[in-house]
Amino acid sequence: TVFLQYSLNGGITWTTLKELYFKNHVYPSYVAVPLHDDARKKVVRIRWWQAQHGGRAHHDWAVDNIFIGGDVDAPEKYLSLEKGHFLRDREWLTATHINHEEYCNSDHKVAVGKSVTNENAVLETIDVHVKKHYVLEFMFSIGCNESWEDPGMPVKLEYSVDFGDTWQEVVQKCLPMELSCPGVAQQPSIYFAPVPWKRFTFPLHGDIISNWTRFRWSQKATQDATPSHMWAIKNVYIGPQCPHHCHGHGSCVELACKCDKGYIGDTCATAEDRPTFLKETFEEKTFDPTYWNYVVGGQIALPCSVLVEDLAAVFSGAGPRILETVDLDLRDAKFIQFVAQIGGYGDNLACIGASSRYQNAYLQYSINGGIRWYLLHELDYSLYSQPHTDHIFIPEHARSSATRIRWWQPSGLTEGELLPALAVDNIYIGGSEINAFELFDDFESAGGADPTSWWFGPYSKVENSYCYHPSHALLWKKDSDIEERGITTRELIVENGFMIQFKIAVGCGEYTDSCLTNHSIRLEYSKEPGSENWELVNRACFPTNSIHSECAPNEFHNPSIYSTNTHKKWTLVMLDLPEKTFSSTTQFRWIQDTPTNIPKPRNLPAWAVDDVYIGEACPSMCHGKGICVQGKCQCDLGFSGADCKPSRNLIAARILPTTFLDSFENGLSADLWEVVKGGWISQECGSLAPHGGGKHLYMGECGRRETVTKELDASLAM
């Protein structure tokens, strides 16, 4: 046994403070002993005394990191490691394996720590008097420029209110399935590499409020299988909080906010030029810092299963897995949409089946720079075992001028545990509470398809000259082994008198069986954004014994389906939008049929669309001789006026025939026929006497059968 004692008279007499019983200290342990009131004198000496032992190398003992001091009245404000200052006296109790050097492009020297074999790296503050509405704020970095694939030993932030005898994490892990955390998903104050310089702000409450609270950053000793990375800290502040914590966009300096770049105001609440939406398909090899603020534990790679197109954001690291956006201006935004999968099967070690709710991921938002995160949606492992699309409405509380969104999977919190991979693709954060009345896109802009007009167009690309087209068009030409090739519009307001217009070509220049109707393009609509409830804009209306409510008497037409058999050349399609499409949230999509019962490769034909317009109908639909843009006709050459009637200008005018006669004896005349599909000149049916004779037009081919004359002047016809 060793006795801790003090003397007030130069060691003549000693009074015992604490008896250190050997069985309680077989292993290294921490001892904190408050001084008695009698020991608080101006001349005091302290000793550790072993009254008896068994001689050399017997009953031996060791002591280290001795601190005698502190204040009866702990300071009410604490500021340290600012402006390059190091470990000043009376600010730190412990600084084990902490050095003063530059780190991660810091402007000046900072406190840098790194644990070694068998020894922790620890930085521990003095006791501080923490009151209500206090905050802990500091700048921190770990594993700067290191790989997330090797997170190393983490750094843990803890507090103690019993002079360091026991420690608790400042923020403890909290997940929705735990009884103490209903509806809350909270990341603990544990930091894995890599973290670039980042401000952390913790409002202090609960048990942390006390007359003597101390904090420490500690990194466990290096292990053979788990090395440690360097970490650094600066600008530590403990004291009264600034108003609104500077909204997470500034430092608290003498109770005033010093705003980050891009934020202004007394509380840094006003953001300058924040993106109003985010669309991401992860086509590049790296995360774009314009939109992504913090990404750890993942990379852009091939997922366990293809979600939409080849690449996705794939998170399989041993440490935390976080995909966090920059601050977005979401005051007018409406939804968050994405495709995700948890687990799966593949070459990645994390491509394993998910089996527990503890493997779920969480969609969260923050309106104060990440100080507090609110749960939006829990990605359930069973629902996301296969690629799953979700459409989440943004609550009013989340619609701020600086909202950040993150996907978080709490990996690395249980030692040795490897969670199933999380893959995310086709993220769209945006929309509008009040939708537009029209959409027009001719795909001529430098960026291709207008990102605000469309959701996503898997495997599409804007190219020039497809099928001898004189301008750019949106083209699908790559064979796909998944089930979706198409494009979806944004939500639109559709009312009476609205139309849809587009040009389309399917399989142009390719050999295709004229009898084949597979892989056709369907024009569909939905009034339930994010759902899978899609219907054809026009259903087929043919003569039949039964009458469908959508089919007017004696008005027959094909469904809104387009194939190589019907639209192999560029064709302008104009449709009056039927009443069933009317709503304030209507979307349209062009999607290619890819039947799963056809073996791969499916050899999907190329197809393209151009000059898409949805909105108020142009007069007489421009008579089919122009395109409709914002409700006005842009006429083809030779046609003019508000509705593109034939031009009266003698130079441009075309004289149309007033009569038509064809007995087919000389074959098909290109001057008479615009379209002849599904037939040929023959005598297959014999003589058609007495109404005809000799050759005739025989319509006997599979697929579409149609004949269309050239335009006629029928103003005087009977």
List the domains of the chain with CATH numbers: 2-50 (no CATH), 78-241 (2.60.120.260), 278-430 (2.60.120.260), 439-617 (2.60.120.260), 656-717 (no CATH)
pLDDT score at 512: 65
Q: For the whole model, what pTM was predicted?
A: 0.86
pLDDT value at position 113? 96
Q: For residue 338, name the pLDDT band (cuts at 50, 70, 90).
A: very high
Query: From CA 195, how far away is CA 533, in angstroms rounded?
Result: 43
What single-letter DSSP state applies at residue 485?
-
Q: What is the per-residue pLDDT for 347?
A: 79
Average pLDDT over residues 657-668: 84
Q: Is a pLDDT exceeding 90 seen at residue 68? A: no
Q: How confident is the model at residue 639 (pLDDT cuts 50, 70, 90)?
A: confident
Write the CA distances from 119 to 144, 152, 228, 678, integer angstroms. Answer: 22, 15, 11, 85
Mean pLDDT, residues 684-702 = 80
pLDDT of residue 230: 95
Is residue 634 predicted with pLDDT exceeding 80?
A: yes
- Do 129 and 78 contact (CB within 8 A), yes or no? no
Position 715 scores a pLDDT of 78
Residue 11 banded pLDDT, cuts 50, 70, 90: very high
Name the residue among 379, 396, 262, 377 with its Cα closest to residue 333.
396
Mean pLDDT, residues 480-500: 88
Quickly state the pLDDT bin for 651 (edges 50, 70, 90): very low
φ, ψ dihedrals at 246, nearest 5°: 55, 25
Please write down the HEC assignment for all residues of 208-267: HCEEEEEEEEEECCECCCCCECCEEEEEEEEEECCHHHHHHCEEEECCEEEECCCEECCC
Is 80 exceeded by the pLDDT of residue 518? Answer: no
pLDDT bucket at 699, cuts 50 / 70 / 90: confident
* Long-range contacts, stretch 662-666, CB < 8 angstroms, 24+ apart: 663/692, 663/694, 663/695, 664/694, 664/695, 664/696, 664/697, 665/694, 665/695
Q: What are the counts of helices (DSSP H) followed by strands (DSSP E) for the chain?
A: 0, 51
Lowest mean pLDDT among 134-148, 257-271, 312-326, 533-547: 533-547
pLDDT tens digit sequence for 200-211: 999 999 999 999
- In the three-class reduction of DSSP (H, G, I as helix; E, B as strand; rest coil), residue 444 is classed as coil
Confidence band of 595 (pLDDT split at 50, 70, 90): low
Residue 597 — pLDDT band, cuts 50, 70, 90?
low
Mean pLDDT on 530-555:
81
Q: Which two tokens stand for residue 56?
A: 């050399």
- Tell me the average pLDDT across 657-684: 84
Q: What is the pLDDT of residues 407-440, one digit of tens each?
A: 999 976 666 678 899 999 999 999 998 999 999 9
Over residues 429-458, the mean pLDDT reads 91
Cα 404 to Cα 544: distance, rounded to the nearest angstrom: 56
- pLDDT level of residue 478 (50, 70, 90 thresholds): low
Cis peptide before 34 (omega within 30 of 0): no
In this prediction, residues 578-588 reach a mean pLDDT of 96
**Is a pLDDT exceeding 60 seen at residue 650?**
no
Measure the CA–CA gap between 215 and 200, rounded to whole angstroms: 14
Least confident of 10-24, 185-199, 548-562: 548-562
Judge whether residue 394 has pLDDT over 90.
Answer: yes
- Average pLDDT over all residues of the chain: 89
* pLDDT, position 658: 83
Q: Calculate the CA dihedral of residues 581, 587, 590, 591 and round it to 10 degrees.
A: -110
Output b/e per residue, 694-706; b: 16+ Cβ within 10 A.
ebbbeeeeebeee
Q: In this structure, is the dihedral angle defined by the CA atoms of residues 79, 80, 81 and 85, taken in order, positive or negative?
A: positive
CA quadruple 674, 680, 685, 690: dihedral, nearest 10: 40
What's the average model confidence in pLDDT over 83-94? 86
Instruction: Pick the range with the lowest mean pLDDT from 184-198, 453-467, 635-649.
Output: 635-649
Q: Is the peptide bond before 646 cis (omega within 30 degrees of 0)?
A: no
Closest C-alpha among 619, 666, 646 to residue 712: 646
Q: For tokens 């939905």, what's the residue?
A: 526
Strand duo 298-301 + 312-315: pairing: antiparallel
